[in-house]
Amino acid sequence: MSFIGHVASLGSLRKYRVLAIKGFIQNLQYSASHLVNSVASAIFGVLEVHFWLNVTPPQGFADYAPITIVHYLTFSQCIVWFTQFGIRVRNRVRDAVRSGNVATELMRPIDFYAYHVATEYGSLLYGLTFRGIPVALMLSKLGFYIPKNPAVWGWALVALLIGGYIAAAQWYMVGLTAFWTTEIRTAYWVISSLSLGLGGATFPLEVLPDWLYRIARWSPFACLNYNPARIYLELSCPKLVLPGLAWAAIVTVIAQTLTRAARRKLEVQGG
């Protein structure tokens, strides 16, 4: 059975839902430290807002008036724990390879990729709920946009859920490099730099040079923060979820291809 068909089956959906719930619950025991992270994130958001207000022309730029910049940054800071930070799937995959437990995990009657991404997705949902909402409350005094069209909430959520999936998939692939390298740090820094620089987490992509903006605009990284923020702020139409859907399918195929290659490498080495 294909991966898509496997995941689409009712029994599999139930298994992956349970994994996501477990990933969510595991984080509850660290709620105190996560509150500290939320406070730090809010402080960073305040600094970001004041910096960009000082460098933004009075007439604004592109689609962004100064108040729109504030709205973009406050919203982005709330979702960054869902699409950028707090993702640990790379470490779990790396540690499983180093300890040799990966051989047992690959033998389980569940897709290796879906197992790790589903567990991570639960953690991300925790971050969105228990980190994102407190940050939103702390930054609300600066200015927080409320969409006028109720349907925008739904479309922004769809874009955000897609962005979280792409983030989990890309970090899973970073962890998977442990099958071929002794250290995943290089892959980590490359993906981290691209995600933050081209994902729109700390600034709208329109501030980039035109040639780089065109690249970033259609990259998977724009699906992490930039696209959900544009939809939520009603600067772009809901069709902006389509690039995210396309990239979600692409990263799934790439991740599964790499997983099969990793499995072959393990088997050839006698794992």
Q: What are the sequence ranges of the domains in the chain?
A: 3-268
Where residue 247 falls among pLDDT bands split at 50, 70, 90?
Answer: very high
Strand partners, 64: 61
Paired with 128 in beta bridges are: none
Q: What is the mean pLDDT of the chain?
A: 87
Percent of the chain past pLDDT 70, that is, above it, reads: 88
pLDDT digit string (tens) for 135-172? 888 888 888 899 989 999 999 999 999 999 999 999 99
Q: Which comes out higher in pLDDT, residue 62 or 15?
A: 62
What's the average model confidence in pLDDT over 7-20?
65
